[in-house]
């Protein structure tokens, strides 16, 4: 078990190095550079000398390999430098947005899990009854509905029916929990619904498969209580693919909610990502990619740990 986990843990580092290398050089391939855009991007009139001096200030005049290793050494020490667009430390640009995106991701995951697992299980147990059909319609609609559109519907409903709009400014949970939830519950519901749709279908099909296994039939033949069969034998085994779906979606939510963030005016990582790319803000894009890649890798690692817990074949391999 420990060897398995150690192997998984060590694999995180070459993956991060690969991501770091890829994003660093990809950003340099994109046409236009941050200094040109920053100083003369929008009809700015500035001398070439000033542009060159600014390049020197950001170290962009140095050879590419030197820039790469300087940045990499900073990244190893978790010092990602300053944003080339605003001049502010990267951590300052990211911290509040990350807190918001992480909270939305957690809340959406809670919404998704609370919806998906009971619905998926019920649908499997009541296969081909009206309950199953209702759950399938509900989950198919969730998959087919873009979350930003659902977000707009939420906002319009709140505005037209309740004459109320969620707060426009993020307040951390520990400052004012009510204000915080009043703002974030709507995007969490919006995203959580779509997210739950995939997980519901996955739970249903995994449960159906598990319920047909020999060991379930044996448990029934032994006269075990139906609830016990469901929770101890069926659900735990059916959770493997569901955990994979939930975990990967969670990691995606941290940086991938660009449109939903726009609809609800959330000051999140997704929007910052888009702006950073548009500004060719190399240091910020690199830091954000590393952050999102880090989130994916950590979530994957947690998923591996859960796999080992859920499936003894993995930990004894």
Partner 1 sequence: MRRALALVAVLSVALLIGPAAAQDKPRYGGELIFAVPSEPPSYDAHQEETFGLIHPMAPHYSTLMRVDPSDRTGTKPVGDLAESWTISKDGLVYTFKLRKGVKFHDGSEMISRDVKASYDKIIFPEAAMKSSRRTTYQAVEVVEAPDPTTIRFRLKWPESSFMLNLASPWNWIYKADILAKDPRWYEKNVMGTGAFKFVEHVKGSHWVGKKNADYWDKGKPYLDGYRALFITSSSAQVAAVRGERAHIQFRGFSPAERDQLVAALGPKITVQESPWDCVLMVAMHHEKKPFDDKRVRRALTLALDRYEGSKNLSRIAIVRDVAGIQVPGTPYATPPAELEKLAGYGRDINASRAEARRLLKEAGVPDGFTFTFKNRGTPMPYEPVAIWLIDQWRQIGLNVKQEVIEASAYHPMLKRGDFEVAMDFACGFIVEPDLDLGRFVSNSDANYGKHKDAVIDELYTKQARASDLEERKKYVRALEKRLIDEEVHVFYTLQWHRIIPHSSKVKGWTITPSHYLNNQLDAVWLSE
| CB nearer partner 1, residue 131 or residue 152 | 152
Main-chain dihedrals φ then ψ at residue 279, nearest 5 degrees: -85, -5
Residues 45-74 binding partner 1 (CB under 8 A) are 45-47, 49-50, 53-54, 57
Residue selected from 155, 182, 216, 243 as contacting partner 1 according to rule CB under 8 A? 155
Considering beta carbons, is residue 66 or 92 the nearer one to partner 1? 92
Interacting residues of 192 by C-beta distance below 8 A, sequence separation 6+: 107, 108, 109, 110, 111, 112, 115
- For residues 42 and 214, which CB has a smaller minimum distance to partner 1 in the complex? 42
The least distance separating partner 1 from the CB of residue 35, rounded to whole angstroms, comes to 10
The residues, ordered by sequence, that sit 6+ positions from 159 with a Cβ below 8 Å of its Cβ are 165
Q: Which of 246, 272, 299, 303 binds partner 1 (CB under 8 A)?
A: 272
> Three-state secondary structure along 255-312?
HCCHHHHHHCCCCCHHHHHHHHHHCCCHHHHHHHHHHHHHHHHHHHHHHHHHHHHHCH
Alpha carbon separation from 243 to 26, 57, 121, 198, 310 (Å, rounded): 32, 47, 15, 12, 10
CB of 193 to partner 1, least distance (A): 20
Q: How many residues bind partner 1 (CB under 8 A)?
A: 48
Query: Applying CB under 8 A, which part among 19-27, 37-45, 225-233, 239-247 lies near partner 1?
Result: 37-45
Task: Find the shortest distance in angstroms from Cβ 296 to partner 1.
Answer: 23
Q: Enter the tokens of residue 245.
A: 């779906």
Selected binder of partner 1 within 75, 234, 254, 271 (CB under 8 A): 271
Residue pair 284/24 in contact by the 8 Å Cβ criterion: no
Q: What is the nearest approach in angstroms of partner 1 to the Cβ of residue 61?
A: 13
Among 262, 294, 310, 315, binds partner 1 (CB under 8 A): 262
Beta bridge partners of 89: 82
Burial 218-254 (b: 16+ CB within 10 A, else e): ebeeeeeeeeebbeebbbebbbbebbebbbebbbbbb
Q: Which is nearer to partner 1, 54 or 249 (CB)?
A: 54
Tokens of 264: 């609800």
3-state class percentages of the chain: helix first, strand second, coil last, to nearest 5: 80, 0, 20
80-139: contacts with partner 1 (CB under 8 A): 85-88, 92-93, 96-97
* Ramachandran bin of 163, using left for φ above 0, alpha for ψ from -120 to 50, beta for the remaining angles: left
- For the bound state, the minimum distance from the C-beta of residue 37 to partner 1, rounded and expressed in Å, comes to 6
Q: What residues between 181 and 210 interact with partner 1 by CB under 8 A?
A: none
The answer to the question of residue 42 lying near partner 1 (CB under 8 A) is yes
Per CB under 8 A, contacts with partner 1 among 12-31 are: 31
Which residue from 32, 59, 118, 177 is in contact with partner 1, where contact means CB under 8 A? 32
Residues that bind partner 1 (CB under 8 A): 31-32, 36-47, 49-50, 53-54, 57, 85-88, 92-93, 96-97, 152, 155, 158-159, 163-165, 167-170, 262-265, 267, 271-272, 278-280
């Amino acid at each position: 078990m420990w060897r398995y986990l150690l192997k998984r843990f060590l694999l995180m580092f070459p993956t991060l190095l690969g991501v770091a290398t890829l994003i660093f050089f990809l950003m340099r391939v994109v046409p236009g550079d941050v200094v040109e855009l920053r100083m003369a991007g929008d009809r700015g009139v500035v001398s070439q000398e000033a542009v060159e001096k600014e390049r020197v200030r950001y170290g962009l005049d140095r050879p590419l390999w030197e820039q790469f290793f300087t940045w990499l050494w900073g990244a190893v020490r978790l010092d990602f430098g300053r944003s080339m667009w605003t001049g502010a430390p990267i951590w300052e640009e990211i911290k509040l947005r990350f807190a918001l995106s992480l909270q939305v991701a957690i809340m959406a995951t809670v919404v998704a899990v609370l919806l998906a697992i009971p619905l998926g299980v019920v649908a499997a147990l009541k296969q081909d009854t009206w309950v199953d059909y209702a759950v399938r319609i509900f989950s198919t609609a969730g998959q087919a509905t873009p979350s930003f559109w659902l977000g707009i519907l939420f906002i319009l409903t709140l505005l037209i029916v309740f004459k109320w709009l969620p707060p426009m400014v993020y307040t951390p949970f520990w400052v004012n929990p009510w204000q915080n939830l009043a703002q974030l519950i709507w995007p969490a519901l919006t995203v959580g619904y779509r997210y739950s749709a995939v997980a519901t279908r996955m739970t249903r099909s995994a449960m159906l498969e598990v319920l047909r296994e020999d060991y379930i039939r044996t448990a029934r033949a032994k006269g075990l209580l139906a609830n016990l069969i469901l929770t101890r034998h069926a659900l735990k085994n059916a959770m493997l693919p569901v955990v994979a779906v939930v975990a990967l979606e969670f990691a995606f939510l941290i940086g991938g909610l660009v449109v939903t963030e726009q609809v609800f005016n959330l000051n999140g990582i997704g929007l910052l990502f888009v702006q950073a790319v548009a500004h060719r803000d190399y240091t910020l894009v690199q830091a954000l990619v590393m952050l999102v890649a880090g989130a994916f890798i950590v979530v994957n690692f947690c998923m591996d740990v859960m796999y080992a817990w859920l499936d003894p074949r993995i930990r004894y391999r």
